[in-house]
């Protein structure tokens, strides 16, 4: 009885959310290597001119600041041939030749716009304006249904009677599954079994982005209270400024920051406001999507002395867990292998939606056929009784 109830709930959720899950799965596959594709499309590397050193960061910033573009941070890579990137907010950026100061013109914005549109579809059907909240609610509910489908599918995957002959049909592709229904049944179970665990991670982490209660649950499972939205940290760092001291240049600040990491790939220096006594530096030792390799440093803007050093390992358990959630969803936290696995299980989701719809359609057609036959029999019986 319990198994039958779970089966019908599984089927109902699959039919109700199937189209949305299919959309999220297709877009998930497309977004698998977004970071690498965008980096490849706009490779900007500059050979060091003979006898010429890099321009001071302050000069680069001054040359490319305007009323329409006020840099808020500067990104420096450990590769001497890599560009210097000035950023304003989340989207504004200028890519610069660190030796000449010339701005690099991207090949095209079309690829970036394409991935932005795909991301919009993945999250909220690419809806803009007031309708986005409603669209996001639909994808959020569908994602919850998808999570239920995974766990109920794991239960239903287990055969009622454990026999190797039965298990074998659900573990791997069966050569005798030649009819459409047998093939769909076999594929649905095989893909479901092999993708269940990584797919559960991908879908469960997406829930955290959609619901506050899920986000708070991450912190509570880690043993701490979730932070209050909008709350401002009250910890105050006392900065001692020597009399008549001059601010360190950004390059001097960078040199002092390098002492904290010998394996850094990029450092992002938040440009302090006028009169600020400290400088914040984000150090990334990974690919940009590995939270365990991202660390934060604050230095005295005048002396370069350490004000705070917070490597990932020193974050609270809740903040560590929340950082992992963001990049486990895309698989980036585990590097290229993790991204590949996330992309593969997104692809298997497409196949499971397709085979699930096919199995449901055949079940519906069989029910419709039985209903028609029963009506015909009842009509014939009624006619003979007259």
pLDDT of residue 245: 75
pLDDT of residue 161: 64
> Which of these ranges, 130-144, 244-258, 321-335, 345-359, has the smallest mean pLDDT?
244-258
Same-domain status, 51 and 194: no
The closest of 163, 246, 157, 234 to 194, measured between CA atoms, is 157
Q: What is the CA radius of gyration of the chain?
A: 28
Same-domain status, 95 and 114: no
pLDDT tens column, 265-322: 999 999 987 778 899 999 999 988 999 999 999 999 888 899 999 999 999 999 999 9
Same-domain status, 192 and 293: no
Same-domain status, 118 and 263: no
The alpha carbon of residue 15 and the mean position of all alpha carbons in its chain are separated, in whole angstroms, by: 26
How does residue 214 score in pLDDT terms, banded at 50, 70 and 90? Answer: very high
Q: Is residue 259 scored above 80 in pLDDT?
A: yes
Is 130 within a domain?
A: yes
Q: Is residue 41 scored above 70 in pLDDT?
A: yes
Interatomic CA distance for residues 127 and 133, integer angstroms: 9
Q: Is residue 15 scored above 90 in pLDDT?
A: yes
Same-domain status, 183 and 332: yes
Q: Which of 81-90, 234-243, 342-351 has the highest mean pLDDT?
A: 342-351
Interatomic CA distance for residues 86 and 72, integer angstroms: 8
Strand order in the sheet with 92-96: 103-104, 92-96, 84-88, 73-77, 266-270, 278-284, 294-300, 306-310
pLDDT of residue 236: 60
- Average pLDDT value for residue range 358-362: 93
Same-domain status, 260 and 123: no
Q: Is residue 101 scored above 90 in pLDDT?
A: no
pLDDT of residue 231: 56
Same-domain status, 99 and 116: no
Interatomic CA distance for residues 116 and 121, integer angstroms: 9
> Which of these ranges, 12-26, 106-120, 274-288, 341-355, has the smallest mean pLDDT?
106-120
pLDDT of residue 320: 94
pLDDT tens column, 134-154: 999 999 999 999 999 999 999
Q: Are 49 and 123 in contact (CB under 8 A)?
A: no
Interatomic CA distance for residues 181 and 184, integer angstroms: 5
Same-domain status, 385 and 265: no
Count the alpha carbons within 13 Å of 273 in the hemisphere toward its beta carbon. 0
Is 204 within a domain?
A: yes
How does residue 12 score in pLDDT terms, banded at 50, 70 and 90? Answer: very high
- Average pLDDT value for residue range 168-193: 85
Is 240 within a domain?
A: no
Interatomic CA distance for residues 186 and 175, integer angstroms: 10
Q: Residue 375: is it exposed, middle or buried by C-beta count within 10 angstroms (0-12/13-18/19+)?
A: exposed
Q: Is residue 127 scored above 80 in pLDDT?
A: yes
- Average pLDDT value for residue range 188-202: 94
Is 205 within a domain?
A: yes
End-to-end CA distance of the chain: 41
Is 177 within a domain?
A: yes
Same-domain status, 363 and 259: no
Domain that holds residue 154: 1-42+107-224+318-386
Q: Is residue 254 scored above 60 in pLDDT?
A: yes
Interatomic CA distance for residues 120 and 132, integer angstroms: 10
Q: Of 293, 315, 337, which residue sits at a domain end?
A: 315
- Average pLDDT value for residue range 341-346: 96
Q: Are 138 and 47 in contact (CB under 8 A)?
A: no
Interatomic CA distance for residues 155 and 284, integer angstroms: 41
Q: Is residue 217 scored above 90 in pLDDT?
A: yes
- Average pLDDT value for residue range 32-46: 82
Q: Is residue 80 scored above 80 in pLDDT?
A: yes
How does residue 165 score in pLDDT terms, banded at 50, 70 and 90? Answer: low
Q: Is residue 47 scored above 60 in pLDDT?
A: yes
Q: Residue 10: is it exposed, middle or buried by C-beta count within 10 angstroms (0-12/13-18/19+)?
A: buried
Q: Which residues neighbour 180 within 8 Å (Cβ) at sequence distance 6 or greater?
A: 358, 362
Q: Which residues neighbour 287 within 8 Å (Cβ) at sequence distance 6 or greater?
A: 35, 265, 332, 335, 336
Same-domain status, 133 and 34: yes
Computed over every residue of the chain, the mean pLDDT equals 88
Alpha helices in the chain, H assignment, sequence order: 2-30, 34-41, 57-63, 110-124, 131-157, 164-171, 180-210, 212-221, 250-257, 317-330, 335-385
Give the count of domains, the chain. 3
Q: Are 81 and 88 in contact (CB under 8 A)?
A: no
Tell me the percentage of the chain whose pLDDT exceeds 70: 95
Q: Is residue 264 scored above 60 in pLDDT?
A: yes
Is 238 within a domain?
A: no
pLDDT of residue 380: 77
Q: Of 271, 298, 315, which residue sits at a domain end?
A: 315
Is 292 within a domain?
A: yes
Q: Of 90, 105, 120, which residue sits at a domain end?
A: 105
Range 57-63 contact pairs with CB under 8 angstroms and sequence separation of 24 or more: 57/84, 57/249, 57/250, 57/251, 57/254, 57/269, 58/249, 58/250, 59/101, 60/84, 60/86, 60/96, 60/98, 60/101, 61/86, 61/271, 63/101
pLDDT of residue 108: 66
Is 29 within a domain?
A: yes
Same-domain status, 145 and 220: yes
Q: Is residue 237 scored above 70 in pLDDT?
A: no
Same-domain status, 60 and 162: no
pLDDT of residue 107: 62
How does residue 361 score in pLDDT terms, banded at 50, 70 and 90? Answer: very high
Count the alpha carbons within 13 Å of 21 in the hemisphere toward its beta carbon. 31
> Which of these ranges, 8-22, 80-94, 136-150, 314-328, has the smallest mean pLDDT?
80-94
Q: Residue 91: is it exposed, middle or buried by C-beta count within 10 angstroms (0-12/13-18/19+)?
A: exposed
User: DSSP letters of 221-269?
Assistant: HTTSPPPPTT------------TTPPPPPHHHHHHHHGGG-SS-SEEEE
The closest of 6, 342, 31, 10 to 146, measured between CA atoms, is 10
Tell me the percentage of the chain whose pLDDT exceeds 90: 59
């Amino acid at each position: 009885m319990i198994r039958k109830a779970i089966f019908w709930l599984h089927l109902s959720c699959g039919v109700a959310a199937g189209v949305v899950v299919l959309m999220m799965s297709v877009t998930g596959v497309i977004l698998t290597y977004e970071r690498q594709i965008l980096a490849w499309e706009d490779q900007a590397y500059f050979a060091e001119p003979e006898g010429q050193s890099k321009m001071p960061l302050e000069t680069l910033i001054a040359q490319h600041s305007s009323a329409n573009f006020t840099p808020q941070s500067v990104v420096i890579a450990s590769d001497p041939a890599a560009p210097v990137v000035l950023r304003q907010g989340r989207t504004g950026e200028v890519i610069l030749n660190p030796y000449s100061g010339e701005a690099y013109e991207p090949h095209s914005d079309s690829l970036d716009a394409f991935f932005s549109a795909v991301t919009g579809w993945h999250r909220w059907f690419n809806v803009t304006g007031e309708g986005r909240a409603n669209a996001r609610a639909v994808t959020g509910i569908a994602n919850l249904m998808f999570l239920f489908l995974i766990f109920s599918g794991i239960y239903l995957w287990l055969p009622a009677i454990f026999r190797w002959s039965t298990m074998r049909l659900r573990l791997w592709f069966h050569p005798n599954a030649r009819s459409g229904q047998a093939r769909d049944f076999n594929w649905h179970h095989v893909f479901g079994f092999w993708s269940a665990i990584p797919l559960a991670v991908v879908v469960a982490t997406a829930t955290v982005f959609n619901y506050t209660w899920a986000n708070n649950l991450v912190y509570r499972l880690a043993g701490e209270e979730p932070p209050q939205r909008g709350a401002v940290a009250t910890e105050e760092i006392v900065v001692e400024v020597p009399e008549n001291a001059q601010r360190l240049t950004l390059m001097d600040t960078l040199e002092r920051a390098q002492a904290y990491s010998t394996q850094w790939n990029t450092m992002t220096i938040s440009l302090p406001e006028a009169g600020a006594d400290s400088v914040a530096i984000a150090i990334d030792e990974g690919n940009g999507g590995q939270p365990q390799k991202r660390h934060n440093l604050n230095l005295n803007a005048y002396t370069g002395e350490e004000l705070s050093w917070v490597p990932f390992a020193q974050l609270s358990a809740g903040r560590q867990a929340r950082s992992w959630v963001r990049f486990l969803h895309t698989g980036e936290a585990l590097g290229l292998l993790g991204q590949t696995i996330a992309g593969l299980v997104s692809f298997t989701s497409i196949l499971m939606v397709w085979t699930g719809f096919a199995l449901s359609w055949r079940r519906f057609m069989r029910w419709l056929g039985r209903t028609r036959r029963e009506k015909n029999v009842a009509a014939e019986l009624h006619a003979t009784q007259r």
